Amino acid sequence: MMEKFITKRKKSSDVDHDAEEAVEVGSTSKKKAKKTRLYCDSYLSIGFTWCGDQTQPLPECLICKAKLSNEAMAPSKLKRHFTTKHGHLSDKPRIYFERILAERKQQSQAFTQIFKVSTKAQEASYLVAEIIAKNSKPHTEAESIILPVCSAIVKTMLESKAEEEIKKIPMSNNTICRRICDMSADIENTVITSVNKSEIFAMQVDESTDIGGKAQLLAFIRYVNNEKIAEHFFCCKELTEATTGQDIFNTLNKYLKETGLSWKQCVGICTDGAPSMVGSIKGFVSLAKRENSDIITTHCFLHREVLVGKTLGSDLKEVLNKVVKMVNYIKSRPLKSRQLPSFVHKWEQTILIFCYIPK
């Protein structure tokens, strides 16, 4: 135990070697209780102030800024350090060290004022980041567009002093990116905390490929929150290799373990009916049922509508095909898309007129 204690002291680069010797000499008895020494104002005459916790302060040299251990908080040990390291200053009066301490405090306050950001500026920075994230805009727009626009508006409508206050809002690219990540992590923690409080949950899982050609696994979760059913976006994980049922299960199972959730709490899974999802042997649903056999599986109703549309009767299918052609015709021509609202409005007015004509 003693060797471990001394080794720990040697690892600290801020502790002076003289203090280590004092610890080693004063700790020969294992049963002796450790004594906490407090700082005395007279130690300033020796060139020492204190830092750290007030209940267990550490002596700090004003000249070399070396921090000693609490066991070295004694006049004899402090004098030994000062005369050994700074003997040329041993004749200096107390006022000399008071002036050094005052200058250090003044520098620290000035440094804090320069880099201190007000609470309103922090709040404004988060609000800008929230607006950018909600509108799915690049985080670089805050520094390149929003900040110059706000400065121009405030300078025109208010005084130049207000413009200087606007410029104090931290809206650099890295700051906005960090704000968005912080808010995302906070939302994730809130959802996970609510799900953990609920005894059961259900998931809707789908795998898709983004515009970059990367496979993304999306999951939505539904759970009971304050006697109401709540639904939230759960996670989006990239499938780095294959997109088999085993890969999907491993990715989602790893995330559930990280969030403290269990498959035993899952009561239902909704999928699109792809082989990798509903395969009887290696499908995602089959692997999930091995963890919890009571899971109820359902098929997404949107995919059901597509399947039903393929098996319609000849009459209904002909009508559906015409509707699809009309929608594609209008959407593929910007002029027709602009004319459609006015045409619908005129048609509605015509119908209302015919409805009010007396018979």
Q: What is the pLDDT of residues 293-330, one digit of tens each?
A: 889 988 876 666 666 777 777 788 888 888 888 888 88
DSSP 96: H
CA dihedral 73, 79, 85, 86 (to 10 degrees): 120
Q: What is the pLDDT of residues 222-256, one digit of tens each?
A: 998 888 888 888 888 888 888 888 999 999 999 99
Ordered DSSP codes for 160-211: HHHHHHHHTS---HHHHHHHHHHHHHHHHHHHHHHHHHSS-EEEEEEEEE-T
**For the chain, which residues score pLDDT lower than 50?**
1-31, 114-115
Distance CA 99, CA 91 (A): 15
pTM of the complete model: 0.51
Torsions phi, psi for 203 (to 5 deg): -130, 150
Distance CA 298, CA 262 (A): 20
The owner of tokens 């413009």 is 163
Angle of helix 2-11 versus helix 17-26 axis, rounded to 10: 170
Q: What is the pLDDT of residue 33?
A: 57
Using an 8 Å Cβ cutoff, are 195 and 261 in contact? yes
Distance CA 316, CA 234 (A): 38
Contacts with 285 (C-beta within 8 Å, 6 or more apart), sequence order: 245, 269, 271, 277, 278, 279, 295, 297
Distance CA 261, CA 316 (A): 46
Q: What is the pLDDT of residue 47?
A: 83
Q: What is the pLDDT of residue 131?
A: 92
Residues in the chain: 359
